[in-house]
Amino acid sequence: MRFKFLLRPGWLALTLAVWVFAGACVYFLSPWQFGRNDERQAQNAAITKSLKSDPVPFGTRHDEWQKVEIKGRYLPELEALARLRTVQGEAAFEVITPFRTTTGHTVLIDRGYVRPVNGIKPPDFAKPPADEVTIIGLARPNESNEQPAFQQDGRRQIYSINNKAVGENIEPGYYQLIENQPGALDTLPLPRLESGPFFSYALQWIAFGVMAVGGWLYFTIREARPGGVLHEGPKRKKSIAELLAEEGDEGADERGPEADDAGQLDRTRHVT
């Protein structure tokens, strides 16, 4: 059979590796990048809509990034710093302060960011106002980590902005203050409204999968044709006499025809 070589262990392993890789590219890696592209497109649309719309009152239905107007008081005694943050390429802490609304709910407010001092320590920063205020923030969902707050360098700190990490009886999600709001510090910049490379990455993964299968087909067809590398018979080991004869021939080739004539003449003289 022309394709019997496909049953050899080496080709079976190669075939398995190629098709697993191609399947991963087409069914996992590419859809993952398409999904990230869809998320980015949805985020850009939500931010654009928020910038063009008026804030909605707290308690009404709202989507992520929508502006929400909240009335109430800050609760600085439960304030915490979200650590290990980067803002505009530099290290930062985000200041998370609970806020008691006039309707009796407690929510988290991201007042903005501060830069660490001496590389890792939180600096001093302004306290939030003690009086009742009205603020406008962008609705954001909880971050995933629920590890509770802890004390370090004289401040309560958290690894992620999550209502369960800060305290009890706090509503899920948080609100990121926009500029010029009561209690705002250096407000966080909005994400850049760009699509990113995810769509092109998805196409690249599809291309890699197709190239892998195409290469496998090329080498399979090449080896199945007469004259393929795998169709060459096993080479017979040469005997010592054959090797010596080949060395003798090579030596004669190096000496040239003059040496052969001289040898012939010498043999003639010995005969006579």
For 163, list phi and psi in degrees, rounded to 5: -60, -35
Whether pLDDT at 14 is above 80: yes
46-54, long-range: CB < 8 A, 24+ apart: 47/190, 47/191, 47/193, 48/193, 50/138
CA distances from 228 to 69, 83, 221, 224 (A): 75, 62, 9, 7
Read off the tokens for 150: 């802890």
Q: What is residue 84's predicted lDDT score, i.e. its pLDDT?
A: 92
The CB-side HSE value for 208 (13 A sphere, CA atoms) comes to: 17
Confirm if 155 and 95 have CB atoms less than 8 A apart: no
Least confident window among 42-51, 100-109, 262-271? 262-271
pTM: 0.65
**Tens of pLDDT along 235-272?**
556 666 666 666 666 655 555 555 555 555 455 555 44
Start-end of H helices in 80-225: 163-166, 198-224
Read off the tokens for 253: 């080739």
Q: What is residue 47's predicted lDDT score, i.e. its pLDDT?
A: 81
Taking all residues of the chain, what is their mean pLDDT, rounded to a whole number? 85
**Tens of pLDDT along 122-137?**
999 999 999 999 999 9
Least confident window among 42-51, 152-161, 234-243? 234-243
Neighbouring residues of 192: CB distance < 8 A, sequence distance ≥ 6: none
69 - beta bridge partners? 57, 136
List the one residue out of 129, 132, 123, 124 whose CA is nearest residue 103. Answer: 132
Mean pLDDT of 155-173: 94
Mean pLDDT of 92-106: 97
Q: Between 151 and 4, whose confidence is greater? A: 151
Read off the tokens for 48: 């654009």
